[in-house]
Amino acid sequence: MTTPQETLEPGQPDITPLWHGAGIIVIDKPRGPSSHQVAAWVGKLLGCQVGHAGTLDPQVSGILLVMLGNAVRLAPLLLKHDKEYVCLMRLHKDVERQRIDEVAKEFTGRIYQRPPRRSAVKRLLRIRTIQQLDILGVEGKLVLMKVRCDAGTYIRSLCHHMGLALGVGAHMQELRRTRSGVFDERTMHTLHDLQDACCAAAVGNRAALDAMIVSVDAAVPDLPSVVVRDTAADALCHGAALAGVGVLRCDEFRKDQIVAVLTEKTEFVGLGKALAASTTWKPGKTGLFVAMTTVFLAPGTYPRGWKKAVKPEKPAKS
């Protein structure tokens, strides 16, 4: 995570923050800078704490999710998002198109991978799923393909292994991430777009900037939801577990599953871990239902609907 103070140049005055609270902005990362540098620039422009999910190598472009404020708490979920890439692979010798298509089918499904030597993670053998591998075009030794895969799949390794299977060798020449979870190229913005929006916001026109930043609940639309009474919201913001009597309705989920907790007005309170399956709950049933793990709604947003326990007064000493 990078703070605004860490991104400012020596002797540069502090900037007025343009964003408060949690949010996500989908950046079109250019080739050249690292993911950390891009996130730091976003933090410098907005004047807020930031983090990024799904690191891209410096020479890789495309979707980079930059989390603002306490949205960094979503990182464990965002890192699990399926990804989609467009890759340009260079073969070391010419190969017939039919054979390339055959090998692409062989690499669709579960594959074994070991992180590259330069990777920051342990080089342990892992299984990843290639959900879709489409050959978009072949021109000489260049192969353009689209890959939809699990998080943590190394496309560089995929190209290398496909080259071995073809018997000619291959390497990744260019790569662009086109989707991460629910976010695709239609939702991303360049750093130049963000800078223009920040300049407009600094003089009072926030429309463009506000349109770029999405709410944290937009990143977890596939999670089952639990709708709570507004009177229970503030207690959850203060760390209380959700009791069954505070629940109005919920989707179907199993015990220990992560759920999204919403107010009656569908405002996003945060994430919680189900303490019981939804099938065991009935309106008015007592007992704890959800343990909050991550809270995004600020305390005091909703009126307090709970009371502090009053300690009995000690008898006066005679």
Tens digit of each residue's pLDDT (9 = 90 or more) over 37-49? 999 999 999 999 9
Catalytic residue check, 150: no
CATH number for the domain harbouring residue 286: 2.30.130.10
The C-alpha atoms of residue 154 and residue 241 are separated, in whole angstroms, by 39
**CA-CA distance, 81 to 150, in Å (whole number)?**
7
Does residue 307 lie within any of the structural domains? Answer: no
Average pLDDT over residues 122-141: 94
174 and 90 within one domain: yes
Which of these, 305, 129, 130, lies nearest to 231 by C-alpha position?
A: 305
What is the β-pairing status of strands 170-180 and 61-68? parallel
Same domain, 66 and 212: yes
User: Tell me, what's the pLDDT at 120?
Assistant: 65
Specify whether 169 is located in the same domain as 37.
Answer: no
Mean pLDDT of 251-274: 92
Task: Tell me: do 162 and 133 sit in the same domain.
Answer: yes
Q: Give residue-wise pLDDT tens across range 61-116.
A: 999 999 999 899 899 889 999 999 999 999 999 999 999 999 999 999 999 998 77
Contacts 24+ apart (CB under 8 A), 150-157: 150/82, 150/83, 151/54, 151/79, 151/80, 151/81, 151/82, 151/83, 152/126, 152/128, 153/83, 153/113, 153/128, 154/113, 154/115, 154/116, 154/119, 155/85, 155/87, 156/116, 157/113, 157/114, 157/115, 157/116
| 306 located within any domain | no
CATH of the domain at 100: 3.30.70.3190
> Are 46 and 173 contained in the same domain?
no
Tokens of 1: 């995570």
Residue 315 lies in a domain: no
260/238 Cα distance (integer angstroms):
17
Domain count, the chain: 3
Q: Assess if residue 61 is contained within a domain.
A: yes
Of 142-151, 219-228, 251-260, least confident by mean pLDDT is 219-228
Q: What pLDDT score was predicted for residue 286?
A: 85
In a domain, 310, yes or no: no
Whether residue 98 is contained in a domain is answered as: yes
Same domain for 169 and 91: yes
Does one domain contain both 172 and 192? no
Q: Does residue 248 share a domain with residue 189?
A: no
- Name the DSSP class of 279: G
> What CATH code is carried by the domain that includes residue 71?
3.30.2350.10
Q: Which residue, among 118, 114, 2, has the nearest Cα to 49 in the 3D structure?
A: 2
For residues 66 and 199, membership in a common domain is answered with yes
Structural domain for 96, as ranges: 83-178
On the question of pLDDT at 21 being above 90, the answer is no
Kindly state whether residue 287 falls inside one of the protein's structural domains. yes
Tokens at residue 219, please? 């990143």
Answer with the one of 164, 192, 216 that is the final residue of a domain: 216
100 and 245: one domain? no
* Cα 305 from Cα 275, distance rounded (Å): 22
pLDDT at 266: 86
Residues 98 and 118 in one domain: yes
The answer to whether position 309 is within a domain reads: no
Query: What does the pLDDT read at residue 87?
Result: 98
What's the pTM?
A: 0.84
Query: CB burial class (10 A; 0-12, 13-18, 19+) of residue 186?
Result: exposed
Residues 57, 192 within the same domain: yes
Which candidate in 57, 82, 184, 193 is catalytic? 57
